[in-house]
């Protein structure tokens, strides 16, 4: 590395000062943005009584026969396979989202029951259950619980815009009033 001559540095500094003479300093215009949080799922007020009525459907011992190959999918015997195809393609758009990240199995089971009860109460036919991937515990248990519920018509792994491999789109049977 070569050292610069001090006389040249003074000359450069004088030239710089002459070039910026009459310039006023800019005020700090830095914009600090706050991180936007994803909108929370519909927080519906579901009584504990409603969720307890539906929690009895979820057993940890019962294991329905679900396909091990391809994406997770299920259809009740009286439901057309075309409905599952429509879920896969994203034709149904979920109105309620349940985010189970960080929940224990018991909490997830209770919240899942409460979500299904809220869907039936409010007439919502499609919901998204985001179980995440993590250690695969809720990813494996959520489909088993959903397949046991009599009001769940079908479910399929969600398209990417709704969570992909970490979520399920659930089609719920709404009784006519």
Q: How far is CA 143 from the centre of its chain?
A: 16
Residue with token string 């579901």: 46
CB 153 within 8 A of CB 169: no
Per-residue confidence (pLDDT) for residue 33, from 0 to 100: 65
CATH of domain 73-172: 3.30.1370.110
Confidence of residue 141 (pLDDT cuts 50, 70, 90): confident
Residue 53 predicted with pLDDT over 70: no
Question: Could you give the CA distance from residue 50 to residue 173 in angstroms, rounded to a whole number?
Answer: 17
Q: Using one digit for the tens of pLDDT, what is the confidence trace for 5-42? A: 767 678 888 888 888 888 887 777 676 666 555 555 44
Task: Indicate the DSSP class of residue 162.
Answer: G
Question: Could you give the CA distance from residue 72 to residue 139 in angstroms, rounded to a whole number?
Answer: 10
Residue with token string 């929940």: 103
Judging by beta carbons within 10 Å of its beta carbon (0-12, 13-18, 19+), is residue 175 exposed, middle or buried?
exposed
The phi and psi torsions of 74 (rounded to 5 degrees) equal -160, 145
Comparing 6-15, 53-62, 120-129, the range with the smallest average pLDDT is 53-62
User: What is the domain partition of the chain in residue ranges?
Assistant: 73-172
Q: What is the gyration radius of the CA atoms in the chain, in angstroms?
A: 28
């Amino acid at each position: 590395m070569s050292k610069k001559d001090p006389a040249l540095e003074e000359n450069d500094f004088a030239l710089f000062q002459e070039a910026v003479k009459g310039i006023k300093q800019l005020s700090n215009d830095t914009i600090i943005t706050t991180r936007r949080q994803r909108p929370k799922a519909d927080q519906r007020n579901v009584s504990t009584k409603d969720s307890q009525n539906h929690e009895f459907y979820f057993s940890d011992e019962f294991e329905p026969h679900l396909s091990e190959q391809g994406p997770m999918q299920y259809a009740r015997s009286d439901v057309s396979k075309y409905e599952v195809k429509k879920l896969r393609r994203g034709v149904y758009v979920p109105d309620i989202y349940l985010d189970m990240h960080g929940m224990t199995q018991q909490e997830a089971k209770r919240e899942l029951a409460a979500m299904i009860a809220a869907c039936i109460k409010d007439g919502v036919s499609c919901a998204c259950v985001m179980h995440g991937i993590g250690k695969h515990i809720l990813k494996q248990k959520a489909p088993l619980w959903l397949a046991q519920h009599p009001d769940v018509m079908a479910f399929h792994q969600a398209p990417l815009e709704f969570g992909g491999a970490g979520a399920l789109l659930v089609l719920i049977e709404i009784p006519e009033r």
